Amino acid sequence: MSKYWNNKINSATPYVAGEQPKPGQKVIKLNTNENSYRPSPDCSDAIKTFDVGALRLYPDPECTIVAEAIAEAEGLLPDNVFVGNGSDEVLALCFQTFFEKKGNTDLPVLTPEFSYSFYPVFEEFYDLNPKKIPLREGLEINSDDYIGVPNCGIVIANPNAPTSRAISLTDIEKILKANPDSVVIIDEAYAYFMEPYETAASLIEKYSNLLVVRTLSKSYSLAGLRVGYALGSEELIEGLKRCRDSFNSYPVGRLEQAIAAAAIKDKRYHEWSRGEILKTRQYTTDELRRLGFDVPPSSANFVFAKPPACISAEKLYQNLKAKGILVRYFKTEGISDRLRITIGTMEQMERFIQETEKEIDDAKDS
Ligand SMILES: Cc1ncc(COP(=O)(O)O)c(C=O)c1O
Q: Would the pLDDT of 87 be above 70?
A: yes
pLDDT averaged over the chain? 96
Are residues 80 and 33 part of one domain?
A: no
- Confidence (pLDDT) at 24: 85
Instruction: Give the pLDDT band of residue 18 (cuts 50, 70, 90).
Output: confident
Q: Would the pLDDT of 160 be above 70?
A: yes
Query: What percent of the chain is modeled with pLDDT above 70?
Result: 99
Are residues 286 and 239 part of one domain?
A: no
Are residues 104 and 32 part of one domain?
A: no
Among residues 266, 298, 333, the one where a domain terminates is 266
Are residues 185 and 156 part of one domain?
A: yes
Instruction: Give the pLDDT band of residue 261 (cuts 50, 70, 90).
Output: very high
* 1 within some domain: no
Q: Whose CA is nearest to atom 12 of ligand 1?
A: 189
* 2 within some domain: no
Condensed to tens digits (0 to 9), the pLDDT of residues 312-350 reads 999 999 999 999 999 999 999 999 999 999 999 999 999
- Give the number of the atom of ligand 1 that is nearest the alpha carbon of residue 115: 1
- Confidence (pLDDT) at 25: 86
- Give the number of the atom of ligand 1 that is nearest the alpha carbon of residue 217: 10
* 333 within some domain: yes
* 61 within some domain: yes
Give me the mean pLDDT over the 288-315 stretch: 98
Are residues 50 and 30 part of one domain?
A: no
- Confidence (pLDDT) at 97: 97
Burial class from Cβ neighbours inside 10 Å (0-12, 13-18, 19+) for residue 258 reads: buried
Give the distance (Å) from ligand 1 centre to CA of residue 170.
24
- Confidence (pLDDT) at 20: 87
Are residues 178 and 317 part of one domain?
A: no
Give me the mean pLDDT over the 1-28 stretch: 92
Are residues 223 and 144 part of one domain?
A: yes
Are residues 99 and 23 part of one domain?
A: no
Are residues 255 and 274 part of one domain?
A: no
Give me the mean pLDDT over the 100-109 stretch: 81
Give the distance (Å) from ligand 1 centre to CA of residue 190.
9
Report the distance separating Cα 36 and Cα 30, nearest Å.
9
Among residues 217, 248, 266, the one where a domain terminates is 266
- Confidence (pLDDT) at 337: 97
Check pocket membership of 219 for ligand 1, CB cut-off 6 A. no
Q: Would the pLDDT of 185 be above 70?
A: yes
Q: Would the pLDDT of 175 be above 90?
A: yes
Are residues 260 and 124 part of one domain?
A: yes
Check pocket membership of 157 for ligand 1, CB cut-off 6 A. yes
Report the distance separating Cα 259 and Cα 49, nearest Å.
11
Q: Whose CA is nearest to atom 3 of ligand 1?
A: 189
Give me the mean pLDDT over the 67-73 stretch: 97
Burial class from Cβ neighbours inside 10 Å (0-12, 13-18, 19+) for residue 5 reads: exposed
Provide the residue range defining the domain that includes 261. 41-266
Among residues 266, 290, 306, the one where a domain terminates is 266
Query: What percent of the chain is modeled with pLDDT above 90?
Result: 95
Looking up residue 213, the CATH number of its domain turns out to be 3.40.640.10
Give the distance (Å) from ligand 1 centre to CA of residue 268.
23
- Confidence (pLDDT) at 75: 95
**Total number of domains constituting the chain:** 2
Q: Would the pLDDT of 56 be above 70?
A: yes
- Confidence (pLDDT) at 17: 86
Are residues 120 and 51 part of one domain?
A: yes
Give me the mean pLDDT over the 111-132 stretch: 96
Give the distance (Å) from ligand 1 centre to CA of residue 86.
8
Q: What is the pTM of this model?
A: 0.97
Check pocket membership of 97 for ligand 1, CB cut-off 6 A. no
- Confidence (pLDDT) at 103: 64
Instruction: Give the pLDDT band of residue 19 (cuts 50, 70, 90).
Output: confident
Condensed to tens digits (0 to 9), the pLDDT of residues 189-236 reads 999 999 999 999 999 999 999 999 999 999 999 999 999 999 999 999
Q: Would the pLDDT of 275 be above 80?
A: yes
- Confidence (pLDDT) at 102: 62
Are residues 326 and 258 part of one domain?
A: no
Instruction: Give the pLDDT band of residue 104 (cuts 50, 70, 90).
Output: low
Looking up residue 356, the CATH number of its domain turns out to be 3.90.1150.10
